Amino acid sequence: MAQAMQSNRLKGRGRKILVLYRTLEYPLRATIADHLFSFRRWSDADCIYVNVASQPVPHVLARMPFDLIVFHTTLLSSRVRNNRFQRLMSQLEFLSESRAVRIALPQDEHVFTTNLCEFIERLAVDNVLSVAPKITWPAIYDTVDRSKVAIHQVLTGYLEPRTLRRIEQLASTKPKDRAIDVGYRAHGVRHNLGYHGQLKIEIARAFLAAAQGQDLRTDISTQFEDTFLGDSWYQFLLRCRYVLGIEGGASLHDPTGEISRCVQRYVAEHPHALFDEVEAACFPGSDGAFPLVALSPRHLEAVATRTGQLLVSGDYNGILEPGTHYVPIDKDLGNLGELVRNSMDESDRLRMVERAYDDIVVSGRYTYQRFVDLVLRTSLQTQHVTGCPARASTEPWNPLRAAGVRCAGWIGWLFPLVIGVGARALHVLARRGPRSLGRFLRRVEKRVRGK
């Protein structure tokens, strides 16, 4: 892992990355923060983060020599609010003039994909890092010119070494005997996800029914008030021998959001309606033709806590293998009774969780370090294909040139130097006071003298 990190840092060195995100949440949930700030943690690039929810985006950014502009998941998820997203696109459209490589990181690609495609076109996005399976891309990105926009598959989340260390600390304070045989948490019946979305609730009901009369200690809930956050979630996993689970995703494509709006209206009028009734009213015959499934971060978290997994059979991005990394459940849930009787052997569980831990955690293949490396390599490939050397430039930003002023000779470098130092000095004075300003000016003097 150390060698991979060194290689990644060398690729990021001297580059400038602009990350645009949108959130009003504070503090951020750990999974979102790990994803968002991975660029700052795992590259030596100069990263600038702009939260479009709390500040306007200055147009001068279009003229700054960024090598890469990242449109983060949190920004693209606002496409579910159509009017707000249209305003946001108008505010950001000037970035299409930037010479930087532009990368989009969408998730939840089953819904409002028309807005997503419009964003990709208007912002002149070069690369899309999709969490959806390749088989679904023609439906999701039907209006995207694939000769101009490259699409690559990534995971919905990765392992963060700081989180792994935190889990190890929590595990060291817990008794080795796990008090819960099977645990599970899920909430929120979302009919607009199709039948796949119902499975996360149905699996809980079916397992509890199969476990009746058996000598099992279960902690299974689909109620919102039983949700675990932060360290409480890891502590829950560390108390469980097994957890239930399915792939994240949806089996229903809702490109314009019309299905979601219909479901919302119908459920408001018929709060006790079952899935079949909602399906007949809002999307008859449409479910099942859109297999958008993916590995969920909670699967990686279960591996990291050495918790066994009872999972509905699936692809799991080719990472989790049935019988090797998890105990498979038939998609019709028909073998749950057999699993209750035969899958509780502790020696088998220990062998399985250790194999999963070695293949997924120890291997280092599924870390945010690798994710950032993929993003940087993708941007480098785009630079090579486009043949745009300005995108890979490490030349310091010239504020006069950015403002459209052309200077020759010594004026060309002296003016930017004076303006840059002066602006920085004012910033230090305003933020840190006269003493810090004095220290800053002494450092500038030493650099001028070559010390």
| Domains with residue ranges and CATH for the chain | 2-158+367-390 (3.40.50.2300), 161-362 (3.40.50), 398-449 (no CATH)
Q: In what order do the strands lie in the sheet with 127-130?
A: 46-51, 16-21, 68-71, 101-104, 127-130, 150-153
Q: How far is CA 236 from CA 147, 290, 302, in A?
A: 47, 33, 10
Listed ranges 59-63, 141-145, 184-188; the one with the highest mean pLDDT: 141-145
The pLDDT value given to residue 26: 81
AA letter at 363: S
Phi, psi of 402 (to 5 degrees): -65, -30
Q: Which residue has the higher pLDDT, 447 or 426?
A: 426
Banded model confidence at residue 419, pLDDT cuts 50, 70, 90: low
Q: How far is CA 357 from CA 19, 243, 350, in A?
A: 32, 15, 10
User: Given the structure tokens 């004012």, which residue do they identify?
Assistant: 426
Q: What confidence tens digit (pLDDT) does each residue in 71-84 have?
A: 999 999 999 999 99
Q: What confidence tens digit (pLDDT) does each residue in 285-334 have?
A: 999 999 999 999 999 999 999 999 999 999 999 999 999 999 999 999 99
Banded model confidence at residue 409, pLDDT cuts 50, 70, 90: very low
Q: Which residue has the higher pLDDT, 177 or 226?
A: 226
Q: Reply yes or no on whether the pLDDT at 406 is more than 50.
A: no
Q: What confidence tens digit (pLDDT) does each residue in 358-374 have?
A: 999 999 999 999 999 99
The pLDDT value given to residue 8: 43
The pLDDT value given to residue 413: 42
Mean pLDDT of the region 231-254: 96
Read off the pTM.
Answer: 0.81
Listed ranges 18-27, 73-82, 170-179, 389-398; the one with the highest mean pLDDT: 73-82
CA 267 to mean position of chain CA atoms? 30
Mean pLDDT is lowest, of 39-53, 56-70, 235-249, 253-267, for 56-70
172: alpha, beta or left, given left = phi > 0 and alpha = psi -120 to 50?
A: alpha
Q: Which of 39, 65, 67 is nearest to 384 (CA)?
A: 67
Query: What is the dihedral sign for C-alpha 25, 240, 160, 326?
Result: negative
Mean pLDDT of the region 252-277: 95
Banded model confidence at residue 434, pLDDT cuts 50, 70, 90: low
Q: CB–CB of 313/301 below 8 Å? A: no
Q: Reply yes or no on whether the pLDDT at 388 is more than 60.
A: no
Q: Reply yes or no on whether the pLDDT at 400 is more than 90.
A: no
The beta strands (E) that lie in 149-297 are given as 150-153, 180-185, 218-221, 240-245, 248-250, 292-294
The pLDDT value given to residue 446: 53
Q: Reply yes or no on whether the pLDDT at 405 is more than 90.
A: no
Phi, psi of 183 (to 5 degrees): -125, 165
Q: How many CA atoms lie within 13 A of 431 on its CB side?
A: 7
Instruction: For Cα atoms 404, 406, 410, give the angle at the middle one, nearest 5 degrees.
Output: 140
Mean pLDDT of the region 61-66: 88
Q: CB–CB of 5/368 below 8 Å? A: no
Biggest CA pair distance of the chain: 87
Q: What confidence tens digit (pLDDT) does each residue in 120-146 have?
A: 999 999 999 999 999 999 999 999 999
* Whole-number Å distance between alpha carbons of 319 and 327: 14
The pLDDT value given to residue 229: 83
Q: Reply yes or no on whether the pLDDT at 62 is more than 60.
A: yes
The pLDDT value given to residue 341: 81
* Whole-number Å distance between alpha carbons of 388 and 26: 39
